[in-house]
Structures are given as structure tokens and as C-alpha cells.
Amino acid sequence: MLGYTVRRLFGVIPVLFLVSLLVFALMQAAPGDPVSMLISDEASAEDRARAAEAWGLDQPAPVQYLNFVRNALNGDFGTSFRYREPVMALVLDRLPATLELALFATLLAVLVGIPLGVLSAARPNSVLDSIGSVVGFFGISMPNFWLGIMMILVFSGYMNLLPSSGREPWGMGLDRVTGFLTLDAVLQGRWDALAQALRHLAMPAIVLGTSMMGIIMQVTRASMLENLGEDYIMTARAKGLSGRTVLWRHAFRNALVSVITITGLEFGALISGAIIVETVFSWPGIGLLLIQGITFRDFPLIVGLVLIYTSLFVLMNLLIDLAYSLVDPRIRMR
């Protein structure tokens, strides 16, 4: 397994190179001049030339890209045009917010989707199965930006129960240790801060996890139905095992490979899909940071963030493959 992991990690290098090249080429072809974002519109031609030289924008595009790659290999993704800060520092400051949101969304999706899929498969064509199918199709088909706006309107506007934006209230005074507000609140024994962090997380996590919940429910149901029709299930029932044991210990365990696959892939999609949700709820994560970078044509910030997204997605695929051998010993990595 170690050799397989090392080979997969080395395989990430050409993927990151191609992605960075594609993004850089697209940004170069996009209309507009990034120098205009750096200085005032009233600046003279000499000031614009000095700004372009200072930021390396006066060099040919291939030279700019090679400089970026050389610096990136040393862990330096450049300095943001808009924020005047190192890109890596900005990403590390915002990344915990996105990961925390994606983790809570995944937790909600798994806690609802898996039991609903298993129970629907255990009683096919029943009322419970119909309810599960409706919930699953609702989650898959509902646009998250529309659902987010509706939840803000109802729970923040009409009912005034949950905050409509942001990650924490002003003046909460919580020391940042890990960057995950819920974990930091627990570590510091700040239960009031934990309650506030969960209130701010509630709507974005529900909106982000709704689609994932529907997909997990449908995949779990289909995989369970397939396994419940196998001969080993009939054998287990013939031995006198209880229905609960047959359902969860035998059928569900063999259905886990499909469930793990879709959960891991959807988690990677959640991180990239959080861009819309973070924009709707003004969540200070890397998704909102990417939107701001695109708006201001912040080349270093955009390329750095896209590489981070790509790395996270590739890492999730690797973790999925490694989890296979833990769930099903018949699978071995070569």
C-alpha cells in the first residue's frame, strides 16, 4: 500500500502542472488589464509602467508562468494583487472556514442519507421508500443558491432565528488555535462561542449538504437493494440471524464501497461547490476569496486557489482508494 500511495502522490505533479498552465492561459486570454486593478485610473503612463514592472506584468506570458512555477516549487505562490499579502497566507487563513463548512455539510448528509437509503432498501415500495425517494430527489434537484436565499428569507427574515451571514458574531473574542471555530470553542471551554458558531454554521451546512444527502441516499438504496438480493443474504437469513443483523452487519458492510466512493467524491465537490454557498451567506472561506480574485483579475490568487482545490480533490480520491482495503479486505492496492 505504501508503494501505491507514493506512486499516486507522484502522479499528482503532472496534474497540478497542467491545471496551473490551463488556468494561467485562460487568465491571460481574459479581457481587461490587471494593472488597472493595482493603481488608480488617473495614474499616468509612467506610473502604470512602473507598477507593471514591479509586479512582473511587463514580461512575456511564458516568462511570467515560468517564474510562477519556480516560486511555487518553493512554496511561494506570489503576492495577491488585491490584498498585498502572500497568497499562501491568505489561503491558510480562509481554508479552515471552508473545510469546517464542508465537514459539517458532509456530516449532515451522511447522518440523514445513509440511514434513509438503508431503510428504504429494507422496505422497497413502501411508504418509507416513497418518502426517502422524494427526499432524495429533492436534495439532488434543488439549486443550492435558491435554497440558501429561501432559508435566509424564512429563518433570518421572517422568524429571526438564525444569522443570515458571516461565520461569527462581532466581538465573540475566541482565540484562533486551529482555525475551526467549533473545535477552538471546545478546546477553550467556550460553550457560548460554540453555540454561536453552530448557529452561523446551520443554514450554510444544510444548504451545502442537501444535494450530497440526496445523492448518498440514492446510491445507498441502490447498493443495498443489489446486496439484499445476493445468495449470502439468503444464507444468513436461513441461519436464523435477525433482520437487523442481516441488514446492517452483512448487507450494509458490502454496500459500503459504493457509499464511500460517492461520499469521498462528493466531499471534494462540496469544497468546490461551496463557492456559491459562501457567496450567498458571505462565508469567509476560500470560495468567496476565489470570487473576489476573479472579480479583480488577481492572477496569483486565482492560480494558487485553483491548485489548492485540485490538490484537495486528488487527495480525496487517494483517501477513497486507501479506504477500500480497510472496508473490504478482498481489495488490495498494487
Please, what are the domains in the chain? 93-327 (1.10.3720.10)
**pLDDT of 332 higher than 70:** no
Q: Which of 318, 297, 284 is nearest to 101 (CA)?
A: 284
Q: Give the residue carrying C-alpha cell 516568462.
A: 63
Question: What's the mean pLDDT when you consider all of the chain?
Answer: 83
Q: How many CB atoms lie within 10 A of CB 37?
A: 15
Classify 79 as helix, strand or coil: strand
Q: Give the pLDDT confidence of 127-156 residue by residue, as tens digits.
A: 888 888 888 888 888 888 899 999 999 999
Tell me which of 161-165, 184-188, 231-235 is least confident: 231-235
- Identify the top-confidence range among 29-33, 42-46, 90-94: 90-94
Residue 32 predicted with pLDDT over 70: no
Q: State mean pLDDT over 180-193.
A: 90
Q: Is the sign of the CA dihedral 135, 136, 139, 142 positive or negative?
A: negative
List, in sequence order, every residue forming a beta bridge with 86; answer none if it has no partner: 79
pTM for the whole thing?
A: 0.82
The pLDDT assigned to 198 comes to 93
What sign for the dihedral angle of Cα 217, 222, 225, 231?
A: negative
Half-sphere exposure of 54 (CA within 13 A, CB side): 13
Cβ–Cβ under 8 Å, residues 210 and 202: no
For 14, phi then psi, to 5°, come to -65, -30
Cell of 156: 433570518
pLDDT at residue 123, rounded to an integer: 86
Alpha helices in 123-143 (DSSP H): 127-141
Distance between CA atoms of 12 and 311, rounded to whole angstroms?
A: 8
C-alpha cell at 170: 462581532
Q: In Å, what is the CA distance from 255 to each residue of 131, 170, 172, 221?
A: 21, 46, 44, 9
DSSP 271-299: HHHHHHHHHHTT--SHHHHHHHHHHTT-H
Q: Rounded to whole angstroms, how far apart are CA atoms 29 and 7?
A: 34
Average pLDDT over residues 28-49: 72
